[in-house]
Amino acid sequence: MRLETREGDVKRAKRLQPVGQLMDELERESALRVTATQARLSEAQRRCAELQHYLDEYRQMFAERARAGMGVSGMRDYQVFIARLHEAVQAQQSVVDQLAAESVSERELWAQAAARKTAVGKIIDQAQSEERQAEDRRQQHELDERAQRQRGVQ
């Protein structure tokens, strides 16, 4: 450690503050994207479950009506409707899968942003600590010089 400090060293923490603020903002934005993606995923899962519930209901109604006796055209209509509903469930499940992957990706990006924010915060803290230590050494040096001058005067 050196006793003398250059002006640039003293102001290092202050120069790093905008970087710290940028990392805070990037981490906050990333967290908001995670929240938004999770909300879209939850809504897609709800829709998928709702469609699956309708599909199950219509299959059950079809089975009951088929046992009770149903015309050929009625059976065909039910089967076409059930097939379309099944396709809708599959399509919605694809949306859920895509949003789940997007959610994982956004969480990873958020974790990276949080890690960068933490790292920059540590660097700023270290710079502030070094600046305080340099200032303490400077003050101590001044006190030592003053004391030495006073001894020399006496």
Residue 41 sits in a domain of what CATH number?
Answer: 1.10.287
Residues of the chain with pLDDT under 70: 1-10, 153-154
User: Which pLDDT does position 154 carry in this prediction?
Assistant: 61
- From CA 100, how far away is CA 33, in angstroms rounded? 13
Q: Are 9 and 138 in contact (CB under 8 A)?
A: no
Is residue 8, in this structure, part of any structural domain at all? no
User: Which pLDDT does position 4 carry in this prediction?
Assistant: 45
Is residue 124, in this structure, part of any structural domain at all? yes
Is residue 41, in this structure, part of any structural domain at all? yes
Is residue 94, in this structure, part of any structural domain at all? yes
CA dihedral of 125, 126, 131, 137, whole degrees rounded to 10: 130
Is residue 7, in this structure, part of any structural domain at all? no
User: Which pLDDT does position 2 carry in this prediction?
Assistant: 44
User: Which pLDDT does position 10 carry in this prediction?
Assistant: 47
Q: Are 58 and 81 in contact (CB under 8 A)?
A: yes
User: Which pLDDT does position 1 carry in this prediction?
Assistant: 40
Total structural domains within the chain: 1
User: Which pLDDT does position 70 carry in this prediction?
Assistant: 84
Is residue 10, in this structure, part of any structural domain at all? no
**Please, where are the H alpha helices in the chain?**
7-10, 12-68, 72-153
Is residue 3, in this structure, part of any structural domain at all? no
What residue numbers bound the domain in which 59 lies?
18-153
- Phi and psi torsions of 24, nearest 5°: -60, -45
Is residue 1, in this structure, part of any structural domain at all? no
Taking the CB of residue 42, how many other CB atoms lie within 10 A of it? 13
